[in-house]
Amino acid sequence: MTASPAEPHVSFILAFHQHQPVGNFDNVFQEALNRCYEPFLDFLESHPSFRVSLHYSGCLFDWLEAHRPNFLTRLARLAYRNQIEMIGGGYYEPILSIIPERDAVGQLLRMNDYLQKRFKKTPRGFWLAERVWEPKLPRLAADADLLYTVTDDTHFSMAGMAEEDIRDFYVTEEEGRLLYVFPIQKELRYLVPFKEPHETLEFLKKKAGGQKTVITFADDGEKFGMWPGTYQWVYKDGWLERFAAALEENKSWLRLKTFSEVIAEERPRGHIYLPTASYEEMLEWSLSLKKGKRFYEVRRNLENSGLWREAEPFLHSGYFKNFMNKYPEVRWMRQRMQYTSRRVEKIQNARKKKEAESALWKGECNCPYWHGVFGGLYLHHLRRSTYENLIEADVISSEANRNFKSGALHWEQIDINQDGQLECILENPLLKLFIIPHQGGRLSELDVKPLRLNVLDTVTRREEAYHSKIKVGHGESGAGTASIHDLARTVPPQVMERLAFDNYDRGSMLDWIFDPQMSFEDYRKGKLKILAPTVAEVYEFKKLKDGILLEREVMFAQGGQIRLQKRVVLSDRATVITEISLQNISGSSLRFLFGQEWNFTFFEKMENQQRLQTFTVQDNWSRGNVEIRSDKPFNYWQYPIETLAQTEKDYQLMHQGLCIFPHWQIEIPKGGEWRGKVEWIFSDAGRPLSR
């Protein structure tokens, strides 16, 4: 395709974002390097006129420094010859708007420092993780001496801008702090690298509309080798070579530029104030179950009627922070992170503070704080890594801010999850417990500090809007060069048979009062026969010298009433003791099944047992073992917690943990009382824990 002199001059910005989450498996980093990062770098070295802007997350930089430093040396050569512009960002790829501002600026500055030291280049702009925009960002960017960022055209459309004006770049401000914003063209994200190059050129001409203009493509570098089918398509089948050749052939009207070059040569197209937004798919994923299903229906109806393209600019869906309402696990993790940040901020020792900040910032990596076409929250190893780093920062803070004496118990009341009610923290040198009295007196988190392990890290089995799209059957989950948003996915029928959803939010130390005839299969499938509500009810609490007392009066649906008390004791030998008292304060005897549900992050599966007084749950992966001892024989039910989650390749049945339910068949006469005591003894693969 040859350009004529009358055709417009288009400045075409190509920007690529490379990232692997903190805690991802080494083999995934290696595969991404082999199939994506290294082939693309090889291509850049052999095509010096192919000029691009590149962003690598600090998580990836850390791995490359440890495993392939020569890659970074090669990258530095390209930066030296000004073929690439290095883009900054939050070092460990946080969503800047959901972490404390001091951490956001700190992470931006850390990346600035790294790029200056490693590549002798100070970044002028920053990559906005998941393009999650909030109006305060210009102020944070200015504090880190950053001049520009990139967002999606969705952001500009939501601000009311006409489609033909979404091009070039704009200036925005917050409290007088300026920031240049480049709009990413969504259509390009579906063309590059999935369609032949001539389709991209046609789009660029059409978008330019006969005017001198700037057009931006910015997206994940993993699309060039890691997404299904793309390694073969981009490198083996020669798409990237054809793309570069097409750009070279059309250089009379089309020039590759970097962001900084455009800012130096052009003026902003105008002023803009952007609303809270992200890319369109992210906003859809953040919708609640009911709203998500309805959104898909409305969209499908509009597409079938041919009205979607016309209606799309006026229809916008969710908000990133909705993930914290949609998934209580995300809300807790985020509030836990902010709690830890406040503790780190109080550290006076500079060396200790820097050490704690590094762990904290790793725990702010965005990936487990949301869920969409990528596994996100449902990826067990990413959640585990987040908690591992938050606990590490917390332990450093505890050591720096106060010293535990042998057997000392720290007791704290604080509204961690920002719901207007107090949570309780019990902590000693080995364990840290977070108890929520107003949610059934549940245990929300239990940290085995020497292992840096939250043993209760799991998720609720919930229905997702995309489950309605599942095709049951066999066959391939999709191939070729389709975008992952368009891949057809199927699920084998035997997987669907194992699928179950919960009608309550999971936690631990949950008191259940069931019909005595309820079966294990009913329990596993979530078909609970509840006689009296407890797990979401408000418990009164009282501070004790060695723990906490939780209690409430429980009304049975068919008549009857008990006073339920549970005394939680944190001993100095890595043991949590729960002492249960059930007092029948009704006018007749009561018969029911009572038990306490605990949901552990463990992988090892056990068999159901009857009439036990001691039992050990072992987990070889985490090394976090727990021995259960009871003063009364108990029956033991357990099942694996599994969720069917969408990933970039297919739907996967993911193991999330192990539900453990020691329980008793109980009959209490009028005025009578039942008492029980259970010890939960934590160890390091059977060895006693030590600081």
Cβ neighbours of residue 590 under 8 Å, at least 6 residues apart? 556, 560, 562, 584, 666, 667, 668
CA 669 centroid distance within chain: 49
Cβ neighbours of residue 268 under 8 Å, at least 6 residues apart? 168, 169, 170, 171, 180
Helix (H), strand (E) at residue 528: none
3-state secondary structure 365-422: CCHHHCCCCCCHHHCHHHHHHHHHHHHHHHHHHHHHHCCCCCCCCEEEEECCCCCCCC
Contact assessment for residue 139 and residue 178, using Cβ atoms and an 8 Å cutoff: no
CA 113 centroid distance within chain: 26
Report residue 506 as tokens: 């999971």
> Quick one: which of 64, 89, 90, 91 has its CA closest to 76?
64
Q: Go through the chain and tell me how many residues it has.
A: 691
Contact assessment for residue 604 and residue 617, using Cβ atoms and an 8 Å cutoff: yes
Cβ neighbours of residue 428 under 8 Å, at least 6 residues apart? 404, 407, 408, 409, 410, 570, 572
Cβ neighbours of residue 130 under 8 Å, at least 6 residues apart? 95, 278, 279, 282, 320, 366, 370
HSE-CB of 209 using CA atoms within 13 angstroms: 8
CA angle, corner 672, sides to 668 and 675, nearest 5? 75
CA angle, corner 503, sides to 497 and 504, nearest 5? 130
Report residue 195 as tokens: 């369609």
First to last CA, the chain: 69
Instruction: Enumerate the β-bridge partners of residue 634.
Output: 612
How far is it, in rounded angstroms, from Cα 490 to Cα 43? 35
User: Among all residues, which ones are annotated catalytic?
Assistant: 130, 220
Cβ neighbours of residue 119 under 8 Å, at least 6 residues apart? 75, 76, 79, 86
Q: What is the CA radius of gyration of the chain?
A: 28
- Single-letter amino acid, residue 415: D
HSE-CB of 220 using CA atoms within 13 angstroms: 19
Burial 110-127 (b: 16+ CB within 10 A, else e): bbbebbeebbebebbbbb
User: Residue 618, class by beta-carbon neighbours within 10 Å (0-12 exposed, 13-18 middle, 19+ buried)?
Assistant: middle
Helix, strand, coil in percent for the chain, rounding step 5? 35, 30, 35
